[in-house]
A and B are shown apart, each in its own frame.
Chain A
Amino acid sequence: MELTDIIVKFILVFIIFAISLVIAMYSTYAERKIAAFFQDRIGPNRAGPWGILQPLADGGKMFLKEEIIPTNASAFLFIAGPSLAIMTACIGSAVIPWGQKLTIGSHVIDLQVADINVGVLYIFGVVSLGVYGVMIGGWASNNKYSLLGAIRAASQNISYEISMGLSIIALLMVTGTLSLRQIAEQQHSWHWNILYQPLGFLLFIICAFAETNRTPFDLPECETELVGGYHTEYSSMKLGFYLFSEYINMFISSAVMATLYWGGYNYPGMDWVLAHTGPAIGPLIGTAVLFAKIFLFIFFFMWVRWTIPRFRYDQLMDLGWKILIPLAIANIVITGIVITLIK
């Protein structure tokens, strides 16, 4: 690898990192604003025009709050929890292909940090690491509500990871590869995987809601029962890290869903656009399309949050084990039969 390649990769990593943090920041604003619109309100509108400086004000507040580590908490793990949560949230974006290869002059820039051939597996690994942040934080707080929240998070994530993995297997049978770059390229133009795997996508998005601890599966931080759930004892920026990692997770899972099922950076008529704009600008339009899809998914996450009430815990487990897993297995079987028949 040449030095320029390494520099380009570093710049790309920096940009993706900055973008995911900014999106996470503005997701908090968007969440409040969208919640307001769904409830016939106006939402935050005091900090800057239309309140667009609200996330900065919130962040400043978070930094200035008193930092409390409970006496009986394990200080090291107490700090490790949120750090792990935000770290695992941030590294998920490494394998997502943000666009086609960009050609500037003689340079070919790959808009993907790491094109590893087990990209889907990597995403899964990172997602399952994510629960450790929550678990360690909840355990280290030495508080019964935190612990209950952490236990809920752990069992919920494990239950839904199974059906998520099974729903992905059907997709992998269709695509025949684990590399996200290849999966994205196979969906050229309008050949999106959602057309072949509608049930798989439905299962995947339900599991994504559970994995990101979003309503209707936000039981780990269920206010009515558990005060604040796993982050009851947290204050200041450590709490901010937990909240932030939730929003980054939402962004990453939206990106994964868009890439796996909704064509990633592909859109109908992209060849025509690419031929007319050239290899330096054309791929960036694809990237913009990918981001539009991601924002739509983030909006959908919020839309569902302000529509559906929270599940009860036994209902959550029922849905995960008795409905989603059998459905996912049925999906695999049907996909297998159809593939064999076509061949």
Chain B
Amino acid sequence: MEPLSNKRKVIEQKPLNFLERAYLPAIVQGLAITMKHFFRKPVTISYPEEKREFSENFRGMHSLKRDEDGRERCTACGLCALSCPAEAITMIAAERKPGEENLYREEKYAAVYEINMLRCIFCGLCEEACPKEAIYLDGDIVPADYLRKDLIYGKDKLVEAPLNQKISFIPLPNSF
């Protein structure tokens, strides 16, 4: 048959010459190669102490954002939970009381907001779904833990630290 491409290579099968059959020169060659690697810098990154630089669009741990006045942006619309393919997000909404305008931007807010980090696949669909720009996956790698229940992150771990520390941070009754 005619070759369909020009990529066909005829392999010569020459009988091995004496040095090749003696096998030892090849071993010495191999030893030289491994010795070269012996002095090469290791490629290992010792993870917890050393960290590789993340790419710009790396998706790590979620954070719930505050606006420029330090109020929580989330309005507990539930679109993130709806968009989540892993069903990792749950939330309980509450109505903003008079006098809490400095804490929550909208009239409705998430009293409980939980992400199960064992379920989350870090796809970023919640980011995309959010109409209030309240959730971003801009954090670090989620650290390991010993118990499953400790990997369900509540608002205490997710909400961004207040921009202006003068605003008193009132701990939420339902968060844990």
Name A residues whose Cβ lies closer than 8 Å to a Cβ of B.
34, 36-42, 45, 303-304, 306-308
User: Does B13 interact with chain A (Cβ within 8 Å)?
Assistant: no
> Are B34 and A42 in contact, CB atoms less than 8 angstroms apart?
no
CA distance A308 to B38 in the complex (A): 15
- Specify the main secondary structure of chain B where it touches its partner: helix
- Specify the main secondary structure of chain A where it touches its partner: loop
Report B4-43 CB contacts with A as 1/0, cut-off 8 Å.
0000000000000000000000010011011101101111
User: Does B44 interact with chain A (Cβ within 8 Å)?
Assistant: yes
> Are B46 and A37 in contact, CB atoms less than 8 angstroms apart?
no
Smallest CB–CB gap between B44 and chain A, Å? 5
Smallest CB–CB gap between A54 and chain B, Å? 15
CA distance A306 to B27 in the complex (A): 12
Interface size on B, residues (CB 8 A): 14
Closest to B44 in A: A42
Name B residues whose Cβ lies closer than 8 Å to a Cβ of A.
27, 30-31, 33-35, 37-38, 40-44, 46
Q: A42-B46, A45-B46 are in contact. Are A306 and B40 (CB under 8 A)?
A: no
Sample of 16 A–B contacts (CB below 8 Å): A34-B38, A37-B38, A37-B42, A39-B37, A40-B37, A40-B40, A40-B43, A41-B43, A41-B44, A42-B44, A42-B46, A303-B31, A304-B27, A304-B31, A308-B27, A308-B30
CA distance A91 to B43 in the complex (A): 42
Residues of A within 8 A of B27 (CB): 304, 307-308
Residues of B within 8 A of A308 (CB): 27, 30
Residues of A within 8 A of B34 (CB): 38, 303, 306-307
Residues of A within 8 A of B41 (CB): 40
Closest to A306 in B: B34
CA distance A127 to B81 in the complex (A): 70
Residues of B within 8 A of A39 (CB): 37
Residues of A within 8 A of B31 (CB): 303-304, 307
Closest to B36 in A: A38
Q: Which 9 A-B pairs have the closest CB atoms?
A: A307-B34, A42-B44, A307-B30, A42-B42, A38-B34, A37-B38, A40-B43, A40-B42, A307-B31
Residues of B within 8 A of A36 (CB): 42
CA distance A41 to B40 in the complex (A): 9
Residues of A within 8 A of B44 (CB): 40-42
CA distance A42 to B40 in the complex (A): 11
Residues of A within 8 A of B43 (CB): 40-41
CA distance A35 to B84 in the complex (A): 45
> Are B37 and A38 in contact, CB atoms less than 8 angstroms apart?
yes
CA distance A36 to B40 in the complex (A): 11
